[in-house]
Amino acid sequence: MKIIKRSGAEAIFNAEKITAAVMKANYEVPEKERLSREQIQDITDSVENICLDMNRSLSVEEVQDLVEEHIMDKRAFSVARKYITYRYNRALVRKANSTDKQILSLLECDNEEVKQENSNKNPTVNSVQRDYMAGEVSKDITRRFLLPAEVMRAHDQGIIHFHDTDYFAQHMHNCCLVNLEDMLQNGTVVSETMIESPKSFSTACNIATQSIAQIASSQYGGQSITLTHLAPFVDVSRQKYRRQVEEEFRDAGLSYTSDQVDRVAELRVLDEIKRGVQMIQYQVITLMTTNGQAPFVSVFMYLNEAPEGRLRDDLALIIKEVLKQRIQGVKNEKGVYITPAFPKLLYVLEENNITEDSEYWYLTELAAKCTAKRMVPDYISEKMMRELKQGNCYPCMGCRSFLTVYHDEEHRPKFYGRFNQGVVTLNLVDVACSSGGDMDSFWSILEKRLALCKEALMCRHNRLKGTLSDVAPILWQYGALGRLKKGETIDKLLYGGYSTISLGYAGLCECTRYMTGKSHTDPEGTPFALKLMQKLNDACRLWREQENIDFSLYGTPLESTTYKFAKCLQNRFGVIEGVTDKNYITNSYHVHVTEEINAFDKLKFEAQFQNLSPGGAVSYVEVPNMENNIEAVLEVMKFIYHNIMYAELNTKSDYCQVCDFSGQIQIEKDDDGKLIWKCPNCGNTNQDKMNVARRTCGYIGTQYWNQGRTQEIQERVLHL
């Protein structure tokens, strides 16, 4: 059994330290008030058993809390006071240098919590360590100076989660839809270098990838681009090649026809599309931002976004090449093709590609093969999205955050060039457990927690308020998000619906189970879940009216926070069957990962909650290897088109570098009870010698996960 030290490092659990600490406190009180040796041993044994039953590594603070409780249970109040005083004095000593120790543990690659904190960051790489070091300083400043005590306290207790405190000290926003069209058509500036409108498709792709890296370094969330903004440059290249081919024919003294010129030029266009798409795929994966990771970027593929004719046909050529290259994958260090994490692909299901006789059905078949092999693309239903978004269809920002509909000064809907200010997530399970199951108490506590969330969200908003466009020129001055003047603030982009700010929520499933005794999929539990979701939306609407800021309800994609919330719930309320008995809580509105339900019922059920999560939502179905059953993938895709706005299929695509096994790497417990990854073929458990890809929060993760998320992945049931 392991324990997490205050530095974040993992160590072997040593029960003797509990005994020694209690005995030290015991000797400092009068003999008649002391505990007996048997009582002290009983405390040690009880705490050790609780730690074993938790099925995870507890922190030192959690263990000490348990020791306190057990001393009090023995009614040894004098001993308890001495023990608490000792803890307090030690805390004062540590307070002065806690940040230093955290940073040192990062540099020595000895911080277990950080190792598992982000499934797309490798904590041994210098650039990642530098980002984490800066993050520790930001957290310290945020904690001591920037956030109100009540917000910080609620964050620490897992009542809410104030996202991205490691970036909050800087004036940075969350995620965005990049206005690549503006940057490419009107020129941009990258690192103080003027970039004019490109004269070829491949140059446009190169500018796009350089811009993606710059944008990722200026914000902390995901970004999305659309291939539609690249499509016009295919014809720019086509016309260039036509001129070149004609010149070559003339120089060679050959007679030629216009059709012959077109055929040769088109072959060169297709080759350039291949090179341009390859550039995007490989540069996005290999670029390292100042955040110490590849850019979190999604690529939107929407045929109807381009007018019918040459431009749409060129867009189809690009989409086809993107899908073909993703099916192939990228090579790992051994030269074996594996599943890359980025870019995430978003494919729109629409009237002209959803049936066998539709014009672009061949692209949908290719998308199905790609999903079966590489877990992407994910699917947006044009039909359902138009129903929910006032007749519009547009991409999410990053993995799942959706903008509200906004009209520009000419009353046209505008999406590209907009952004999200940030997220604060409410732990719904904590609201339920705090109420003790009393419904009146639940709604009363919810109102107080929502008021706290609003206060925290206004902290996010006010941190951005007054930010000068100069802090990120590519965003605010050179087209990615705006064309503001030097020295101008971004304030006008924070109000009136131009940007959004998100109230996140987590654990609707466990919350409903605690309050009703039923799953939220049960007809007796669903009405409560829907009523709760409506209450959250009502709060966002009220705040919007009060502040002229677009508050929006967001189904939070918990990653490491799912473990944090679970630990806090266990500390506050103990282990409650079906509610707090896991080392994770369920993301947003999702059906619990262990619940048996088929793919079609799951998607249909969750669709009603996507409607109530306008600020962000994505549903998934867990499937086995589907490479030999593409027809089934296509049936799921058709169902998505008719029933739900945004969904994805989770497959398994792993590789063992020791024995060349390709398939599903298993999760098992080691001798200490820790969940580890193990090759089913050769037994390899060295994470550095395997490539594992799993979807955890909308994005594919490839750097492993904390124990809570790993348990959640292990317990997922198949829906197909």
Q: Which residues are the active-site residues?
A: 174-175, 397, 399, 401, 420, 554, 559, 698
For residue 69, CA distances in Å to 46, 66, 274, 344 come to 11, 5, 65, 47
- Residue pair 719/635 in contact by the 8 Å Cβ criterion: no
Which structure tokens are listed for 621? 């179905």
698 contacts: CB under 8 Å, gap ≥ 6? 344, 398, 399, 400, 557, 618, 648
188-190/176-177 β-pairing = unpaired
- Residue pair 420/175 in contact by the 8 Å Cβ criterion: yes
d(CA 530, CA 516): 13
d(CA 686, CA 131): 26
d(CA 284, CA 400): 19
- Residue pair 178/418 in contact by the 8 Å Cβ criterion: no
Q: What is the DSSP string of 117-162?
A: T-TT--TTSHHHHHHHHHHHHHHHHIIIIIS-HHHHHHHHTTSEEE
d(CA 640, CA 601): 11
> Which of 493, 509, 503, 488 is closest to 605 using CA atoms?
509
Which structure tokens are listed for 676? 């580890």
Buried b (16+ CB within 10 A) or exposed e, 455-470: bbbbbbbebbeebebe
Q: How many CB atoms are closer than 10 A to CB 531?
A: 10
Question: Phi and psi at residue 291, in whole multiples of 5°?
Answer: -80, 0
- Residue pair 419/176 in contact by the 8 Å Cβ criterion: yes
> Which of 496, 493, 345 is closest to 419 using CA atoms?
493
d(CA 607, CA 617): 10
d(CA 394, CA 645): 11
| DSSP tag of 591 | P
Question: Phi and psi at residue 575, in whole multiples of 5°?
Answer: -95, 115
d(CA 65, CA 122): 32
Phi-psi region of 59 (alpha: psi -120 to 50; beta: other; left: phi over 0): beta
**Helices H, strands E: what count in the chain?**
25, 25
d(CA 383, CA 373): 26
For residue 597, CA distances in Å to 242, 581, 719 come to 56, 21, 6
Question: What do you get for the CA distance between the two ends of the chain, in Å?
Answer: 36
d(CA 62, CA 74): 19
**CA 525 and chain centroid, separation:** 28
3-state SS of 272-334 is: HHHHHHHHHHHHHHHCCCCCCCCCCEEEEECHHHCCCCHHHHHHHHHHHHHHHHHHHCEECCC
